[in-house]
Amino acid sequence: MTRQPIRARASTRPEAKRPSPPQPAPNSAALRAVSGTEAWRYQYDFWQRAILFLDTLRERGNNMLAHEKAGLPPLLHFQYETVLDARQFEHPANYALLKINVAGDACLEDCVKEGARAVIVFDPRAGHGPGIGGFKRDSEVGMALHEGHPVYFVIFFPDPCPGQDLADVHHALRRFVAEVSKRHPGQPPVLYGNCQAGWAVVLLSADCVGAAGPAVLNGSPLSYWAGEAGVNPMRLAAGLTGGAWATHLLADLGGGLFDGAWLAHNFENLNPANTLWDKNYQLFANIDEERERFLEFERWWSGYYSMSREEILAIVENLFIGNKLEQGVFRICKHCVADLKRIRNPLLIFASSGDNITPPHQALNWIPAIYPTTADLKAAGQRIVYLLNPHVGHLGIFVSASVARLEHRAILEHVNDLEALKPGLYEMKIVVATGDANCDNPQYRVKFEPRRVEDVRYECPQEAFEQVRRFSEFNESVYSTFVSPWVRAAASTPMAADLYKWLHPMRMSRYVYSEQVNPWMAWVKVLAQAAKAARAPVSDDSPYLAAEKAASLSISQALESYRTTRDQTCETLFAAMFGSGVSPKPVEGASLRCVD
């Protein structure tokens, strides 16, 4: 007889709740539960993305070399004709004035609204070539065309003219403004300045009183000592490197030309997490959607233009180290000193709290330096408006399609309203009613709210930066007297200058992936064609993909921690060297950080 197992009788008492067994972490459990097929799919997708990523870098390198071979032409999305070429002027400069002729499939004349002002877009000469204000349809140029304005664009060429200095550039730009005013009489043109071109527009406004219409300054630094401790370390660089002598050395090594790749290198060093990882991982993770956008931007970002030794030294010594623009002592030429109090055309300053290159402090802090109180600004009869974006980065101010469709469109639609304002300081507020404000959904309104000059003041340690200026002047005098002649003699040959140019890490990191330099990359092109034909992306809910993104985030956070430590160390060193500290507090009531 087989013994049956004893079965427990049902109990009439409620069963005691047993503790649940410990559960493994969701990610670990999910990974263990995934079949071998799922793991293979992820691995297959990973290697396909890796090959396509390398192929994109290969194409970027080819694009850079092809762009250099073509002479680094401006990367404008729109057709144009040359109106004036400043290389032909009595005092030549490497600038030209273009007229945009075609908007989409229609001639510009068919799109211009009656009575619309002409708009002149000035692109920044800050290391890269021109075109950032109009290298795609949704851009500053595109929005100006959409609003029916005759549009002109100021470009520059890769190398300066022999002996060119800032005075030659200024006089060329002044002649451009006069030419546009002559072509469109009745209303002075709108001057649209991006970044470095913003302070060039300010100089024009101070020098061309009555000839210039409203000026729009986008991410433009005018108060170079201002900034926030731990957030804007670039303003400390001169003190930590000894001043302008380092810039002088780089120009000497280039045979009298300062390579714009060094400026781009400085920009990239500001955010190592983005430069070394985030930008590349964004491309790798979304290779099917991001490839063309990445190549479009990198075609512009990888084209580096030069400045003359005289130009870059004047900019560094007078603006970034000397801060002479807001002090009214910046001498453009022998008989001309820039005085911002002479500006009478309305100014609209567009800045962003997310901009670590030109923070709102540098864009706005010159106002209380020129007009200490609101009463002083009103007494001068001036109208200054500022617009703050809560988060977009420096380049996003010029290239972001969403910024173009909202902020730049709103600016251009209301630019004539600036002249109707009473003298004073205003903040431009854009209120979106429903959805996104863009060309297809114009549900937004703009209002100009009065502000006090006293509320945009951000105190900075003036004496510390004065010491940096004196320190720089001493080091520069020693270098120019005893060292510069020897460096110029050693770097005077074209071969030496070319070697110096092509060994720059900003160029090497790009052309090394081109098969023209690295023949092994030809195999990547072949593999990429096969990967595209058999593309099989893994599903978005793959736990392996989630683990990849988590690892990427950890790497990004580690690099961000490094940046924070580096910048804090720079602040500490600067304070130890020049005293008085660099961690000032904003004055009571100051509000230079936009709240989203």
pLDDT reading at 209 higher than 80: no
The pLDDT score that the predictor gives to residue 467 is 95
**Hey, CA dihedral for 69, 74, 76, 78, is it positive or negative?**
negative
Give the integer Cα–Cα distance in Å for 311 and 163: 9
Kindly give, in sequence order, each residue whose CB lies less than 8 Å from that of residue 135, ignoring residues fewer than 6 positions away: 75, 76, 77, 296, 300, 399
Decide if 504 contacts 261 (C-beta within 8 A): yes
The pLDDT score that the predictor gives to residue 436 is 55
Give the integer Cα–Cα distance in Å for 529 and 55: 9
> Residue 108's pLDDT band (boundaries 50, 70, 90)?
low
Give tens-digit pLDDT for 485-516: 999 988 878 888 889 999 999 999 999 999 99
What's the predicted TM-score (pTM) here? 0.87
The pLDDT score that the predictor gives to residue 6 is 33
**Hey, CA dihedral for 354, 357, 363, 364, is it positive or negative?**
positive
Q: What average pLDDT does range 281-289 have in this prediction?
A: 97
Q: What average pLDDT does range 84-96 have in this prediction?
A: 97
pLDDT reading at 292 higher than 70: yes
pLDDT reading at 71 higher than 90: yes
Share of the chain above pLDDT 90, in %: 68
In a domain, 455, yes or no: yes
Helix (H) or strand (E) holding 300: helix 287-301
119: domain CATH number is: 3.40.50.1820
Least confident among 224-228, 463-467, 531-535: 224-228
In a domain, 467, yes or no: no
Give the integer Cα–Cα distance in Å for 240 and 90: 41
Give the integer Cα–Cα distance in Å for 113 and 147: 8
In a domain, 542, yes or no: no
In a domain, 558, yes or no: no
Give tens-digit pLDDT for 396-437: 998 888 899 899 999 999 999 999 999 999 999 998 866 555
The pLDDT score that the predictor gives to residue 268 is 93
- Structural domain boundaries, residue 376: 80-225+325-460
In a domain, 291, yes or no: no
CA-nearest of 306, 309, 199 to 252 is: 309
Decide if 96 contacts 154 (C-beta within 8 A): yes
E strand map for 418-508: 424-432, 444-451
The pLDDT score that the predictor gives to residue 555 is 98
Give the strand pairing for 306-308 and 257-259.
antiparallel
In a domain, 332, yes or no: yes
Helix (H) or strand (E) holding 383: strand 383-389
> Residue 135's pLDDT band (boundaries 50, 70, 90)?
confident
CB crowding 527-558: b at 16 or more within 10 Å, else e = bbeebeeeeeebeeebbbbeebeeebeeebee
pLDDT reading at 587 higher than 50: no
Rg of the chain, C-alpha, whole Å: 28
Say what angle helices 166-183 and 196-207 make with each other, to 10 degrees.
70
In a domain, 173, yes or no: yes
Give tens-digit pLDDT for 180-198: 999 999 889 999 999 999 9
The pLDDT score that the predictor gives to residue 491 is 81
Q: What angle do CA 237, 242, 245 make, to 5 degrees?
A: 105
Encoded tokens for 217:
């300054």
In a domain, 405, yes or no: yes
The pLDDT score that the predictor gives to residue 107 is 56
Q: Count structural domains, the chain.
A: 1
pLDDT reading at 88 higher than 80: yes
pLDDT reading at 103 higher than 80: no
pLDDT reading at 86 higher than 60: yes
pLDDT higher at 396 or 7? 396
